[in-house]
Amino acid sequence: MANQSSSITENWAKIQERIARAAERCGRRADEITVVAVSKTHPAETIVAAYEAGLRHFGENRVQEWESKQPKVADLDATWHLIGHLQSNKARRAAHLFRRVDSLDDLALAKKLHAAADAEGKCLPVLIEVRLGDEETKSGVAEADLLSLATSIAPFAHLEFAGLMTIPPFFDEPERVRFYFRKLRELCDDLSRKLSRALPVLSMGMSHDFEIAIEEGATEIRVGTALFGPRGFVA
């Protein structure tokens, strides 16, 4: 455990340096960028170690996995994000267990989350996940359907539509992903104009490409491997 905490602390320092350099290159402030520590497949103890190292936002991609870890970290004053595909039959549990849903991609799901948030008496911030590139297997709403989904959920009183998220296609060479990050930012700006409301969150960039995402305007990056090391075999 001691070893693990010291490597998380070291990794976190390196990530902060990378963020600072990227922000400097494009004239942004490093503190404008929120880091979501992606703790999927890692045990609750690892989340505690990261919290102690200074991380305050965590991302999990499966409701069930989070349900089993959550009781062990319930005392931590952190923001818990759902970042993975959500099936609508788990909407109620997700609305209860997470502080924000970053992967909303469907109106039926939005309605269920809204009803669940209403029942909990809370307002659940959400991001719409956009599928860029045409990988049919991936989650996220198609670009062509984004405006319609955003327009439908904007009036939901118990959902707070805060911005967009994407997982771009994977390239060995991170520079090739710039196009997708720029695209998401343009979609977000455009949507913000059309809906006449601020959409402050742009969640994009992971361990191997977050510098480029920052240069393209990410306000939030999601970092797993660079912080925690390789994941185990749990998908």
Measured CA distances, 12 to 117, 139, 183, 217, 226 (Å):
33, 29, 28, 21, 8
Q: How far is the CB of 23 from ligand PLP (least distance, A)?
A: 18
Q: The tokens 């913000």 sit on which residue?
A: 192
Q: How far is the CB of 90 from ligand PLP (least distance, A)?
A: 16
Contact flag: residue 84 with ligand PLP (CB under 6 A): yes
- The residue within the footprint of ligand PLP, chosen from 8, 19, 38, 204 (CB under 6 A), is 38
If you count them, how many residues does the chain have? 235
Q: How far is the CB of 168 from ligand PLP (least distance, A)?
A: 11
Question: What part of residues 57-76 is at the interface with ligand PLP (CB under 6 A)?
Answer: 61
Token pair listed for 18: 């990378």
Closer residue to ligand PLP in complex, CB, 158/174: 174
User: Which one, of 121, 195, 200, 107, lies nearest residue 158 by Cα?
Assistant: 121
Q: How far is the CB of 131 from ligand PLP (least distance, A)?
A: 12
Is residue 48 left, alpha or beta, with left meaning phi > 0 and alpha meaning psi from -120 to 50?
alpha
Site stretch for ligand PLP (CB under 6 A), options 7-15, 104-112, 148-156, 221-229: 221-229
- Judged by DSSP in three states, 164 sits in strand
Beta bridge partners of residue 221, listed in sequence order: 35
Instruction: Using CB under 6 A, list all residues that contact ligand PLP.
Output: 38, 40, 61, 83-84, 167, 206-207, 222-226
